[in-house]
Structure 1
């Protein structure tokens, strides 16, 4: 006779429930295609409908991945883009405010798919001034943003998930909501979506059966799920319906022999902090073009799963304090995997994690895109990852993420050409949010 612990019993029942759920049987890509657009939780000031602004002379990178357009013109009326194209093909209305932008590059506002506030309310305005016009915090109580939402200072559009859903004992109790059975899981999803969550974040202690339940419940409510994985094989979680995976390290267990994966899994279940060193040790032996890696990438492509690598939070370099050989090699292999994943067709998006070892306050996003380029993405692929592809992941591509007629005027001007040197993205000169200019960064 099988003896079930309470936790194992609930996990088993959750798995059975999800496998028999009509919603779960829907293919993840099909389910996501049916999800409605997401809404930000903060009110964003809108440009005056009677005011027209024409930005002329800049090189336009519109976020869709096509060739850059030199000497472009983009016309904004109120909060909308009404024209975008070559300067000689766009009619600039009489009386428009003219912004001469020769020598600069015009892009859609940047989108950060993985931001953490952690009580630093001033960071939001700084991110906006550095070009990030929309962001998602995957794992904080919506109430944690109340003070920031009340400030008169402009901040990016906020797309929140609420606390991450975790299994006891939670890794971070203050940022978690515990769900111990399918009923609690569905109630948690319903409650968070009702209160404004535009996605659901699954945390790494949640068992596979519960991931299936949460994903099915989220899709029924019209939102996506994304997950930080440490104790569940990413292949199983993706097959369970996840729309996104946070952190390149979430794939480690899928890329090592089963015995090593189980040893790591048990260590993390016993002690959350075991993952700090353990994931570098694990990644130090991972080869980006190994058969398990190729198989995993093919699965991610087939399921159209978004991946937010957050490389900058894991960056360790030779010669820096505390960076052992395993740390340095592990991080190099993480970058190699991300580059290979993109070449295989995996959908990469940009997440900064807000505070990272090799960037000053407010510059984590810029460091992340530099690392993506170092990993093998082209500058254009990286800029698309940070604009239209991230908009697709956040379910806001119907109105944001690219410079097109009819879309909302979230725009940035940078000094120089980021296609030649991605560090040009550190030189943001002007930011437009919802048709209104934001003061330039200090």
Structure 2
């Protein structure tokens, strides 16, 4: 009888531990500057809009949203919304209302006004996956309105690091685990590994981060994506991280060794590798199925790789390589992979502040529907950040991060540049 009781006790402890671990991994995440954001105090109704709620379903052609304080208290057709007396009314006829956009891959690049500019252009949450957290001190102290800041701290890289100023070099498991815990204590909301991180350390990093309830994403390029995901990686940064997965082993090893010898080899080498890929192969189909099965999030950042022919000679290799990156992005999304939108901060073919909108346009040019792109920019990204219970869609009870754009982005994605008003936490900032 005693043995049976002990067995039942051990089973109970095991199940309770497993349940606790699962809850820990899935705990909600807050932005680093949550307490610093403005707090809405008024009751505001935005009426007669095309309501695109972020969930990917049918838009409501004559919708309204009611905000009280910093929360959405009602959303739906205008006929179903009762507006209290004394409510401030915002007329939205001819405009579309969407959730605030979420940027999965933002780099400040020394431009301290860039987060504020992004907010004015409709991006209410940004994630910087690779910069010392204190580098945002001046941004946080600025009197300008700023988006929600989801920061990672320096990315973890091997030696020699690709970007020494933005990296923390990890040499063994103890060093990697200690760094994970230190940046989480400092307010990190994600851990990012860089491509020189030794593959054997990825599991140690993901295990340590998951124990703290923090996701891990990575720029791979010279580590096979499936191996990193098996080790626990939650997200993939850059579509180019799948190059090794789709390249024959011998060629893949040549590329890997060239990268190990010289970080700069990728600048042209990646285009050469991608121009030669066969995206109609069994390997590409298998990759898509694997990513769906694992629920991996992918932030392609197409705009940073974009190549447009100029007045001079056309670089046919870059043109073909970038076209392949676009095609794989569309292929993965249509297969059901969690594709999200990341701007990279500043990119070659967008004016300062508009890299995010350019990324959305490239998604459409690659073959994704406008609706799918908006869904990727809002609710799918919210799930990637683990903030979907509070943000990412226009629903009762969620935080009031909203953008009003003139026109219909479901018909023309370039309407996302026509920003009329931006609300964060129930406060209009534009």
Secondary structure in structure 1 of the residue aligned to 2:320: helix
1:185–1:210: 8 Å Cα contact kept in structure 2? Answer: yes
Task: Tell whether 2:357 aligns with 1:366.
Answer: yes
1:119–1:144: 8 Å Cα contact kept in structure 2? Answer: no
2:100–2:392: 8 Å Cα contact kept in structure 1? Answer: yes
Q: 1:258, 1:66 → 2: CA distance?
A: 41
Q: 2:202, 2:23 → 1: CA distance?
A: 16
Select which of 30, 36, 40 maps to 1:47.
Answer: 40
Q: 2:23, 2:277 → 1: CA distance?
A: 31
How has the CA–CA distance of structure 1 residues 114 and 280 changed in structure 2, closer, same or farther, with 3 Å as cutoff?
Answer: same
Select which of 53, 60, 65 maps to 1:69.
Answer: 60
Task: Tell whether 2:307 aligns with 1:316.
Answer: yes
Secondary structure in structure 2 of the residue aligned to 1:39: coil
Q: 1:353, 1:81 → 2: CA distance?
A: 30
How has the CA–CA distance of structure 1 residues 83 and 204 changed in structure 2, closer, same or farther, with 3 Å as cutoff?
Answer: same
Give the equivalent residue in structure 2 for 1:86: 77
1:438 is displaced (CA, Å) by 0.6
Q: 1:37, 1:430 → 2: CA distance?
A: 28
Give the equivalent residue in structure 2 for 1:245: 236
Secondary structure in structure 2 of the residue aligned to 1:212: helix
Task: Tell whether 2:155 aligns with 1:164.
Answer: yes
Secondary structure in structure 2 of the residue aligned to 1:95: coil
Q: 1:224, 1:320 → 2: CA distance?
A: 44
Task: Tell whether 2:289 aligns with 1:298.
Answer: yes
1:162–1:192: 8 Å Cα contact kept in structure 2? Answer: yes
Structure 1 gaps, min length 5: 1-21
Q: 1:240, 1:381 → 2: CA distance?
A: 29
2:25–2:212: 8 Å Cα contact kept in structure 1? Answer: no
Secondary structure in structure 1 of the residue aligned to 2:356: helix
- Cα-to-partner distance string for 1:304-363 (whole Å, 9 max, x where unaligned): 000000000000123465751110000001101011101111000000001111100000
Give the equivalent residue in structure 1 for 2:298: 307
Deviation >4 Å, runs of 4+: 30-33, 320-323
Select which of 381, 385, 394 maps to 2:376.
Answer: 385
Secondary structure in structure 1 of the residue aligned to 2:86: coil
Give the equivalent residue in structure 2 for 1:151: 142
- Cα-to-partner distance string for 1:91-122 (whole Å, 9 max, x where unaligned): 01111000010000000000000000122011
Give the equivalent residue in structure 2 for 1:36: 27
Give the equivalent residue in structure 1 for 2:101: 110
Secondary structure in structure 2 of the residue aligned to 1:353: coil
Give the equivalent residue in structure 2 for 1:197: 188
* Equivalent residue pairs, number: 410
How has the CA–CA distance of structure 1 residues 164 and 32 changed in structure 2, closer, same or farther, with 3 Å as cutoff?
Answer: farther
Task: Tell whether 2:222 aligns with 1:231.
Answer: yes
1:287 is displaced (CA, Å) by 2.4
1:208 is displaced (CA, Å) by 1.2
Q: 1:167, 1:323 → 2: CA distance?
A: 36
1:202–1:228: 8 Å Cα contact kept in structure 2? Answer: yes
Q: 1:438, 1:381 → 2: CA distance?
A: 27
TM-score, normalized by length of structure 1?
0.91
Q: 2:223, 2:97 → 1: CA distance?
A: 42
Structure 2 gaps, min length 5: 1-13
